[in-house]
Amino acid sequence: MACRRWLGSAIMPADRWTNSPPFIGMFHLGKSVIQRRFRHRQASSRSAKFGFLFDIDGVIVRGKKVLPSAKETFSILTDNNGEFRVPCLFVTNAGNTLRQNKAKQLSDWLNVKVHEDQVVMSHSPLKMFRQFHDKHVLVSGQGPVQEIARGLGFTRITTVETLRHTFTNLDMVDHKRRKAAPCAFEQYFPKIDAVILFGEPVRWETNLQIIIDVLLTHGKPGQTQKETLYPHLPVLACNMDLLWMAEAPNPRFGHGCFLHCLESLYQKITGHELKYTALVGKPSEITYHHADYLLSQQSRLLGLDGISTIYCIGDNPETDIYGANLYNRYLRKRLKSKQKRLSAKAVVKQAVAHASGQQVSDMDDDDDDSSEELEMLESQSEGEEFVDNFAKSCESILVCTGVYCSERDFVTYGGKRPSNHNHRDFVIDPDLKRPCHVTQNVLEAVQLVFEKEQFN
């Protein structure tokens, strides 16, 4: 795992992912839909053994301004009917909107049809944290946070704004927003069970105050705190970007800045470290694993056998590049582990064949007379066919149109003063921030891949 400390039982260990298909049911299309959407591109795309993961902010747009190279990029990625020739996903750390809305926005920006199932938001992995879906959760962020939470499976949702109106004495920073009398039903308000952080809020001081109140009182912000209960309530956070690129000449504060403030305040007040039950979004491995699964589904719809290489195009060495390289390490480790299992199978088969007087080539993989050891090895490889549909490698491509700029010294992956903008709970490893390739823009990145893969 990337984290230097265990983040809690809700995180699925990487070595269990191979036998547990992520987000089953999130990407399901009937045969008629498949045929309608993909029938005219199967023949032309059979040679594509790769797929793309595109970051959005700083790669395709800056704020609401589409970057000059973006439209041309997607014109060469689509056919005459506007359908994608290569499996493509848009993986963003934004968490202030629904997937279908982001897909429509991308379609309008790029003049191509982007489907909802091609978009991965920072909060998308929370759909698998079912143990929290029936809990009473406090959600923080901006945009339609209640609708987003409900779409992910959460059923009992309270926003910071609702809590502020219920407990009117909590938000005291802005004197103009103070209300004199507390609500008469404060004592009947149900206890908060967990906190979900979707993204940076509009009023940081309000959210910081109320989240700290909820953590200090163990979900009962209307009660007087007598002692600090620790460990605190579960906290699930999306999007760890310290900085992101909009229209301004320099990067803007991201949700990572808000998390840093929250962590610092909690530790200063309580003397304890704020701990996360889950950290999702880039550069978390679980986000890339989910994207890998969706790309494998797209490749099937294109009539391909699968994807060998994933190319991740991003503008931030600390998240896009770090996450891609981290996932590539996982892929290498998984491949090595698989090879060891296959080698062990071969050794056991050889021993069984020798003991029974058979030739190894005469033995069937599904032979019921195999030894107990062989049966154990086969059971460990359960779901191997599913695993084979995943990529073999993941290559990172850094573009210079966003957070990273060769002339900017506080966001870099090399040099005399390397930056460290990643989240506190991720290991500091300069090699993970070093991209496989660097291009000026997204168009050059795609052209580089086409040339490398001999695809046209």
The mean-pLDDT minimum among 11-15, 225-229, 347-351 falls in: 11-15
The single residue listed with the structure tokens 């986000």 is 287
Name the average pLDDT for the chain: 82
CA 1, 255, 73: angle at the middle one, nearest 5? 80
* Separation of alpha carbons 398 and 368, rounded Å: 51
Please give the distance of CA 47 from its chain centroid, rounded to a whole number.
28
* Separation of alpha carbons 167 and 158, rounded Å: 13
Q: 365 or 58: which carries more pLDDT confidence?
A: 58
Whether 90 and 57 have beta carbons less than 8 Å apart is answered as no
Helix (H) or strand (E) holding 140: strand 136-140
Q: Is the pLDDT of residue 324 over 90?
A: yes
Whether 182 and 169 have beta carbons less than 8 Å apart is answered as yes
* Separation of alpha carbons 205 and 439, rounded Å: 39
* Separation of alpha carbons 295 and 293, rounded Å: 5
Whether 262 and 215 have beta carbons less than 8 Å apart is answered as no
Region 258-263 average pLDDT: 98
Q: What is the pTM of this model?
A: 0.79
Cβ-proximal residues to 11 (8 Å cutoff; 6+ apart), any chain: 1, 277, 278, 286
From residue 76, give the alpha-carbon distance in Å to each of 72, 73, 311.
7, 6, 16
* Separation of alpha carbons 115 and 19, rounded Å: 28
Over residues 353-406, the pLDDT tens digits come to 555 555 444 444 444 443 343 334 334 334 434 445 689 999 999 999 999 877
Cα torsion 136, 203, 217, 164: sign: negative
Residue % of the chain over a pLDDT of 70: 74
Bond before 231 cis per omega within 30 degrees: yes
Tokens describing residue 129: 């944290």
Task: State residue 119's pLDDT score.
Answer: 96
pLDDT band of 184, cuts 50, 70, 90: low
Over residues 113-165, the pLDDT tens digits come to 999 999 999 999 999 999 999 999 999 999 999 999 999 999 999 999 999 98
Cα torsion 130, 135, 136, 138: sign: negative
Amino acid identity at 381: S
